[in-house]
Amino acid sequence: MQTFSSILTNGPQHFLQAFKASDQGSWYDSNLFGLTQFPNMGWGAVALIDIPVDTPLFHIPSNLLLTPYTSRLASLLADEEWDKLDIGWARLILVMMYETSLGQKSKWYQYLSKLFLPCRPTWLIAETESMPTKFDTPMFWDETRRAELIGTDLEGRIGREDADKQYFEILLPIIQAHPDIFPPNSIDTSLEAYHLQGSRILSRSFTIPRSKAGGPAPHVVESDDSDSDSDEEEGGVAAMVWMADMLNAAYELDNARLYDTSENTSATSTEPWDRPGYTMRSTKLIKAGEQIYNTYDSPPNSELLRKYGHVDQLPLPQTILELLTSEEVGNHPVGNPGDEVFLPGDMVLDAVTEVRGKKKEDLTERVDWWLEEGYEDTFPLTYSDPINEDLIPFIRLMIDDDDWSRAQHKGKRPHAKMDQVVQSVLLSALDLRAAKYKTSIEDDLAIISDSPGEKRAAVVRLGEKRILNVAHRVVMTAKLETSTNEKKRTATDYDESRSKKKR
């Protein structure tokens, strides 16, 4: 175990000093926390003393945020070029390439590349970066490794080809048109650099309102409603936030959060953490020696792997373990309690075809109605909600002509009533989803416990399959209601038999 003094001497002092010395209003309390390496997590922040709840830890002024609007780049390009870049993260990626290529002339030099290490007799350049220069996310995996993701929600979502296309079709023509801004053939504007900056954004950026990122003020939409003056519409934009991106995260372990200080600032406060910008504050008592965690919004392991390159493997709570069989738990009672698996609407339609014999193309109108009403046609299943609340109404809409007619005429979606047909469709859809994997739960558990190398894909697969199995059991044991059609059929039968008798 590291001692606090070793954290202070071995930690990235150059990074903390550069942050403090940036002389633009950044601030941190060096008595409260230090940066240190955590096993399999890289750098992270650790409390040096007990930190009470709601304590300011560090502050980043607005002008130090690295966003498409705080860099000079926009003013150097033609308006049409800047407009063309308004897609995904293209602007921020190009800004990060540009600021990197500026070297020491950039305000973010120390943040983006090599850092100055104060060291007698002179300043030396430390060979440590504050930013990762290598990623091991699926975006960088070869075909063999990507094959491990077959069946998971990640399959087909890596987007390497689309990303390459964006580089060649949008960024590169602009880069090549400005040799004065972007030195030709520079590594800083290469395809590799594009992926590196994109991955840094994916794993480290914060989404903040455009106007807080130095962008235009919100677009004000005049409302017809005389009681309300106006409605404000403002999109979010990705921003790189110095120091805040040194914090790790794990499912529901967050004990600090980043707060916008641009508006709530007390006019009388002269405290450095109250100036306009963003301040990280503790949200719980953090004991000395504990890691300071931010939140990444508790995504499932598939998303963690895609964006950050890691998976959460935490002890599963008893409430979840009780849902699993001993075969599913194996000797691995850990995972991500926030795990999730998607059941695509298309697969539900295949199940409807299988159970009811309805042709998929005959259901197009119903699916269109569903989407136009604003419902999703992909259904996330979780431990706490193994049968997504929209799933049964969607199935009923597909299988029941009365429900479809009511939806068309009254604009109401069907109730979430599970009868035998819905149950069969659900079970069939879950089976179709589970059949996508190439490995069994047993295989995944064996890989996780035996293989010293790559396990993350197996952890993702295992988490998804566990939820599919839980959902299967919930559907199997659900209390079935008699469908309206069945009730009607019974009444009609009775009526018919009465009328027959009368005859």
Ligand X SMILES: C[S@@+](CC[C@H](N)C(=O)[O-])C[C@H]1O[C@@H](n2cnc3c(N)ncnc32)[C@H](O)[C@@H]1O
Of the two residues 299 and 345, which places its CB atom closer to ligand X in the complex? Answer: 299
Which of 249, 421, 429, 460 touches ligand X (CB under 6 A)?
249
Residue count, binding to ligand X (CB under 6 A): 17
Q: Does 309 bind ligand X (CB under 6 A)?
A: yes
Q: Does 459 bind ligand X (CB under 6 A)?
A: no
Min. distance of Cβ 246 from ligand X in angstroms? 5
Q: Does 110 bind ligand X (CB under 6 A)?
A: no
The span of 38-46, 116-124, 420-428, 482-490 binding ligand X (CB under 6 A) equals 38-46
The span of 37-45, 187-195, 405-413, 487-495 binding ligand X (CB under 6 A) equals 37-45
Mind spelling out the 3-state secondary structure of 357-382?
A: CCCHHHHHHHHHHHHHCCCCCEEEEE
Which of 22, 152, 248, 428 touches ligand X (CB under 6 A)?
248
For residues 116 and 130, give the distance between their C-alpha atoms in angstroms, rounded to a whole number: 11
Q: Does 315 bind ligand X (CB under 6 A)?
A: no
Min. distance of Cβ 30 from ligand X in angstroms? 19
| Torsion angle of C-alpha atoms 116, 118, 123, 128, degrees rounded to 10 | -40
For residues 260 and 247, give the distance between their C-alpha atoms in angstroms, rounded to a whole number: 17
The span of 77-85, 115-123, 306-314, 407-415 binding ligand X (CB under 6 A) equals 306-314
The span of 172-180, 247-255, 263-271, 330-338 binding ligand X (CB under 6 A) equals 247-255
Q: Does 396 bind ligand X (CB under 6 A)?
A: no
Which of 14, 59, 281, 310 touches ligand X (CB under 6 A)?
310
CA distances from 452 to 41, 218, 498 (A): 17, 51, 73
DSSP 229-270: -EEEE--EEEEB-TTGGG-B--TT---EEEEE-SSS--TT--
Which of 5, 21, 41, 492 touches ligand X (CB under 6 A)?
41
For residues 250 and 311, give the distance between their C-alpha atoms in angstroms, rounded to a whole number: 9
- Written as six digits, the tokens of 272 are 């450095």
Q: Does 40 bind ligand X (CB under 6 A)?
A: yes
Of the two residues 46 and 407, which places its CB atom closer to ligand X in the complex? Answer: 46
- Written as six digits, the tokens of 76 are 């150097």
**352: amino acid identity, one letter:** V
Q: Does 303 bind ligand X (CB under 6 A)?
A: no
The span of 67-75, 138-146, 219-227, 244-252 binding ligand X (CB under 6 A) equals 244-252
Tell me if 483 sits within 8 A of 419, measured CB to CB: yes
Min. distance of Cβ 285 from ligand X in angstroms? 21
Q: Does 298 bind ligand X (CB under 6 A)?
A: no
Of the two residues 15 and 370, which places its CB atom closer to ligand X in the complex? Answer: 15
For residues 301 and 341, give the distance between their C-alpha atoms in angstroms, rounded to a whole number: 10
Of the two residues 189 and 197, which places its CB atom closer to ligand X in the complex? Answer: 197
For 25-154, list the strands marked E by DSSP. 27-28, 33-38, 42-47, 56-61, 114-119, 122-129
> C-alpha angle 344/162/129, rounded to 5°?
110
The enclosing H or E element of 293 equals none
Min. distance of Cβ 42 from ligand X in angstroms? 3
Q: Does 255 bind ligand X (CB under 6 A)?
A: no
Min. distance of Cβ 36 from ligand X in angstroms? 10
- Written as six digits, the tokens of 440 are 């069994």
| Residues between 53 and 92 that touch ligand X (CB under 6 A) | none
Q: Does 339 bind ligand X (CB under 6 A)?
A: no
For residues 394 and 81, give the distance between their C-alpha atoms in angstroms, rounded to a whole number: 44
Q: Does 115 bind ligand X (CB under 6 A)?
A: no
**445: amino acid identity, one letter:** L
Min. distance of Cβ 370 from ligand X in angstroms? 36
For residues 349 and 429, give the distance between their C-alpha atoms in angstroms, rounded to a whole number: 8
Q: Which residue is nearest to ligand X (CB)?
A: 42
CA distances from 393 to 351, 368, 379, 404 (A): 15, 14, 12, 10
- Residue 410 makes CB contacts below 8 A (sequence gap 6+) with none
CA distances from 131 to 19, 109, 200, 243, 379 (A): 13, 11, 8, 10, 36
Q: What is the CA radius of gyration of the chain?
A: 28
Of the two residues 62 and 205, which places its CB atom closer to ligand X in the complex? Answer: 205
The span of 34-42, 174-182, 320-328, 335-343 binding ligand X (CB under 6 A) equals 34-42
Min. distance of Cβ 24 from ligand X in angstroms? 21
Which of 67, 152, 203, 291 touches ligand X (CB under 6 A)?
203
The span of 78-86, 241-249, 335-343, 351-359 binding ligand X (CB under 6 A) equals 241-249
461 C-beta neighbours (distance < 10 Å), count: 28
The span of 36-44, 138-146, 399-407, 434-442 binding ligand X (CB under 6 A) equals 36-44
Q: Does 204 bind ligand X (CB under 6 A)?
A: yes
For residues 467 and 302, give the distance between their C-alpha atoms in angstroms, rounded to a whole number: 13
The enclosing H or E element of 219 equals strand 219-222
Q: Does 42 bind ligand X (CB under 6 A)?
A: yes
Residues in contact with ligand X by the rule CB under 6 A: 40-44, 132, 203-204, 245-250, 308-310
